[in-house]
């Protein structure tokens, strides 16, 4: 069944939802760890956390799964978008999209592309350096690297754009994933939608606060 299931339009949705929620779970870990910079201990807690994430073998394996999930999510989105374009070969001359849906629910592809561009920037800022340090068995002070990277206003700006794209992507994606998995219930769906909105806002505000506070030297 499995290959057959993933070939159906429902199966593709389920895969998008599952990988999406998996990526959401990563965000929880990422934002929690990074929020330790607000402990104002000169990055001590943060660096020990980052060190654990860089060396723990379980995390290493999860990291590979994470990249796999991300790649599946992106490739699937690309395939689906191309198929959807084919489903409407002649475009409407006039569309009143605002009358029936939110702009961000209709812009998941653009928001996702922005996120991907941001991710490339983000990984080149931190992830690659950390990897090199691990391979060379060197000490790596991620906290100091953060301070350095976020001392440039244009970098802070890029991060803010990335975080805003993430926020809107999550505003639709969080509850949409549950719907795709068939987890819709009169009792729980309103709660899932509320949690999705608060999750998107809180996570993104925290992420946005990091570069901003470092740039403004609020975190020292």
Partner 1 sequence: MGSGHGTELNLTLKVWRQKNTKASGSFETHQLTGISTDMSFLEMFDVLNEKLIHEGKEAIAFDHDCREGICGMCSMYINGRPHGPKNGVTTCQLHMRSFKNGDTIVVEPWRSAAFPVIKDLAVDRGAFDRIIASGGYVSVNTGNARDANNILIPKDAADEAFGAAACIGCGACVAACKNGSAMLFVSAKVSQLALLPQGQVERKARVLKMVAAMDEEGFGNCTNTGACEAECPKGISLENIARMNRELTSAALTYTK
Task: List contacts with partner 1 (CB under 8 A).
Answer: 1, 4-5, 7-14, 80, 83-84, 86-97, 99-102, 105-106, 108, 172, 175-176, 179-184, 186
Shortest CB 106 distance to partner 1, Å: 5
Residue closer to partner 1 (CB basis): 76 or 121:
76
Of the two residues 108 and 156, which places its CB atom closer to partner 1 in the complex? 108
What is the CA angle 196-197-202, rounded to 5?
100
Of 17 and 69, which has the nearer Cβ to partner 1?
Answer: 17
Closest to partner 1 by CB, 58 or 90: 90
Cα 71 from Cα 73, distance rounded (Å): 5
User: Minimum CB separation from partner 1 for residue 211, in Å?
Assistant: 30
| Least distance (Å) between residue 151 CB and partner 1 | 39
User: To the nearest whole angstrom, how small is the minimum distance from the Cβ of residue 84 to partner 1?
Assistant: 4
* Inter-residue contact 130 to 142 (CB < 8 Å): yes
Q: How far is the CB of 199 from partner 1 (least distance, A)?
A: 17
Q: Which two tokens stand for residue 169?
A: 């992507």
Cα 142 to Cα 130: distance, rounded to the nearest angstrom: 7
Is residue 47 within 8 Å of residue 141, measured between CB atoms? yes
Least Å distance, CB 193 to partner 1, is 11
Nearer to partner 1, 92 or 135 (CB): 92
What own/partner pairs with CB < 8 Å and gap ≥ 24 does 75-83 have?
A: 76/12, 76/15, 76/16, 76/19, 77/16, 77/108, 77/109, 77/112, 79/12, 80/12, 80/16, 81/109
Nearer to partner 1, 7 or 137 (CB): 7
Question: Is residue 99 packed enough to be buried (19+ CB in 10 Å), middle (13-18) or exposed (0-12)?
Answer: exposed
């Amino acid at each position: 069944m499995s290959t057959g299931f993933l070939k159906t339009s429902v199966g593709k949705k389920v895969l998008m939802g599952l990988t999406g929620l998996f990526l959401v779970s990563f965000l929880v870990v990422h934002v929690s760890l990074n929020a330790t910079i607000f402990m104002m201990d000169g990055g001590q807690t943060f660096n020990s956390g980052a060190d654990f994430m860089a060396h723990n073998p379980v995390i290493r394996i999860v990291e590979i799964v994470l990249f796999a999930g991300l790649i599946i999510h992106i490739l699937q989105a690309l395939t689906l978008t191309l198929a959807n374009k084919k489903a409407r070969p002649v475009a409407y001359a006039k569309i009143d999209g605002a009358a029936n849906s939110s702009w961000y629910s209709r812009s998941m592809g653009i928001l996702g592309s922005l996120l991907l561009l941001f991710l490339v920037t983000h990984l080149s800022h931190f992830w690659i350096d950390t990897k090199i340090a691990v391979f060379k068995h060197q000490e790596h002070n991620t906290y100091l690297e953060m301070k350095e990277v976020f001392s440039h206003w244009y970098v802070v700006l890029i991060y803010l754009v990335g975080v805003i794209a993430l926020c809107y992507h999550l505003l639709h994606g969080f509850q949409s994933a549950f719907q795709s998995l068939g987890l819709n219930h009169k009792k729980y769906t309103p709660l899932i939608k509320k949690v999705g909105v608060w999750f998107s806002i809180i996570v993104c505000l925290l992420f946005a606060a990091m570069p901003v506070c470092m740039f403004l030297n609020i975190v020292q």
